[in-house]
Amino acid sequence: MKLFNRIKTFLGSRKKISISVVVLVLIISISFTASRNTDNNFETVKNLDIFYSLYKEVNLYYVDPIVPGDIIKTGIDAMLNSLDPYTVYIPESQTEDLKIMTTGKYGGIGALIRKKDDYTMVTQPYENSPAAKSGVIAGDIILEIDGRTMKDKASEDVSELLRGEPKTKVKLKLKRIGEEKPIEISIEREEIKMNSVPYYGMLEDNIGYIYLNSFTNTAGKEVKDAFTDLKKNNDLNTIVLDLRGNSGGLLIEAVKICNLFVEKGSDIVSMKGKVAQMDKVYNAESNPMDTDIKVIVLVNRGSASASEIVAGCIQDLDRGVIIGQRTYGKGLVQTTRELSYNGILKVTTAKYYTPSGRCIQALDYTHRNEDGSVGNIPDSLISEFKTKNGRTVYDGGGVEPDITVEEKKISNITVALVINDLIFDYANHYKYTHPTIESAGTFKFTDKDYDDFLNFIKNKDFDYKSKTEEALNKLIEESKEEKYYDTAEAELKGLSEKFKRDREKDLMLFKDEIIDIISTEILSKYYYDKGVIIYSLKNDDEVRKAVEIAKNNDSYLKTLNPSKK
């Protein structure tokens, strides 16, 4: 690499130098190094030479002009994707996104956006953000930024224009519901910090609750501060840590969070890689805050990576009860490596193992199917492990909860209402016609309100199929393939007619479910994420189960040590 860097310096002022020359120089450099290594390195150099030759021929003879950076990036992405979806090349233009993921900080106006038809729409300003303080509301369509039209612009490009150094200004032209003319707003950017703990509070007199949505570099401190505050102001005997939907982040923050509740010196997680320097055992290095308080961790299929490190550690050390659904199953660790031209390689360098010694990786990327797809770790390779108290746990497929709560299924009509923005649009309409509402904890969407919603969508066009229809259609197709359809045609047609969807009927059949989604969407307009969480806790099956277990000390202890009487 030193040779390559010297050549880069020499060529730095030659703006028209072809990327093919750089590739050739790199191959020469690698060839020089590989000449002193194994046959495996010869294969590497040989194939890089083939790649360069192929690129040169395509660049010379392909009928249309090619963009060197784009075609090389495509090759890099395909190569890395053949390994696993977590090993990726991040060019200089996208390194800011990586920084945001790890720190939760960026300079901008503080708003969620997404594409809607020809423009980009604000779906939600963050609480106390420059956007919110300047009067931007959910549903605003961004027509222009600093005088430039945003029509047909990708939401990523719009996001890039909204970001910028704090204390700089950006001018937006917005189209808003209920307003005939566009609105112009000037916003001064600030440093936006997205909290890893958007909410914490008390579920009942002695039961605290902390919602952790990411593992940024402040996650450990935020959980510690939340726990300290709850413990200081309440007679706390149980803490519920909610990791549902938390896809992970920094491993070291998971270690810090576990360290709050386990004895100093306890193994929390270990890493093993191909390179010895990647092998590492993470122990609890600090004195814990509380080793006696009951701990309950909520997980689901969206809990991954660092979330699974926390859940796996708490389970293996029998330090708390895990409630919910089986977690995602990501047992791979990524490390970032700096590359030329300020690029970054995020590469899988190790697998991690919980204190019992299990790796919870669910997908086997080392053995792909003939079509390139990836399958689960086969049952024959799944092994038993033991927790501190001798309970049996398994590797190869996420963390299985100690207590499983069946996941709520959402009807297809509700999904269609969400996908077609009908609930989102109605919530914006509701906010426009209701300047204020009651608190998130007491808000109730009434039957009269639901009638108003039905009237709002009455002439709106949206399509869906019930799950029964989907299953029946599949049965009909299979009966035709197996030549049974003719003998059962009358019965199948009768079933099709009987189960034919009825929009009005389904809107009443799934009324409670739809009202729940409408309520959370409305509350987000007034009280942001905190309001949604507070409202959702009232009808949360996993939280309800957590409270039940927390109140029954015998049940809690029996779960952690079934053999103890």
Catalytic (active site) residue 460: no
Q: Which amino acid is at 114?
A: R
- 414: number of Cβ within 10 Å: 20
What are the b/e assignments for 473-487, b being 16+ CB within 10 Å? eebbeebeeeeeeee
CB 255 within 8 Å of CB 282: yes
CB 437 within 8 Å of CB 539: no
d(C-alpha 440, C-alpha 412), whole Å: 27
Q: From the CA atom positions of the chain, what is the Rg in Å?
A: 28
Burial class (CB in 10 A: 0-12, 13-18, 19+), 154: exposed
Dihedral over alpha carbons 474, 479, 485, 490 (to 10 degrees): -40
Looking up tokens 């509380």, which residue turns up? 290
CB 288 within 8 Å of CB 233: no
Looking up tokens 């590739």, which residue turns up? 23
Q: Taking each helix axis from N to C terminus, what angle separates 541-551 and 553-560, rounded to the nearest 10 degrees?
A: 100
Q: Are strands 384-386 and 374-376 parallel, antiparallel or unpaired?
A: unpaired
**Which position among 330, 431, 525, 545 bears the catalytic label?**
330
**In the numeric block, which tokens belong to residue 192?**
């936006």
**Which position among 84, 140, 242, 316 bears the catalytic label?**
316
CB 346 within 8 Å of CB 331: no
Largest interatomic CA distance in the chain: 80
Q: Are strands 294-299 and 111-116 parallel, antiparallel or unpaired?
A: unpaired
In angstroms, what CA-CA distances link 460 with 340, 405, 417? 53, 36, 10
d(C-alpha 455, C-alpha 452), whole Å: 5
Helix boundaries (H) for 94-184: 95-103, 130-133, 155-162
Looking up tokens 């199929």, which residue turns up? 465
End-to-end CA separation in angstroms for the chain: 64
d(C-alpha 158, C-alpha 226), whole Å: 35
CB 334 within 8 Å of CB 434: no
Catalytic (active site) residue 53: no
Q: What is the DSSP letter of 403?
A: E
Q: How many CA atoms lie within 13 A of 89 on its CB side?
A: 19
Catalytic (active site) residue 224: no
**In the numeric block, which tokens belong to residue 305?**
């990576």
3-state helix, strand, coil in the chain (%, to 5): 45, 20, 35
d(C-alpha 128, C-alpha 337), whole Å: 36
**Which position among 305, 307, 519, 524 bears the catalytic label?**
305
**In the numeric block, which tokens belong to residue 137?**
């509301």
Active site residues: 305, 316, 330
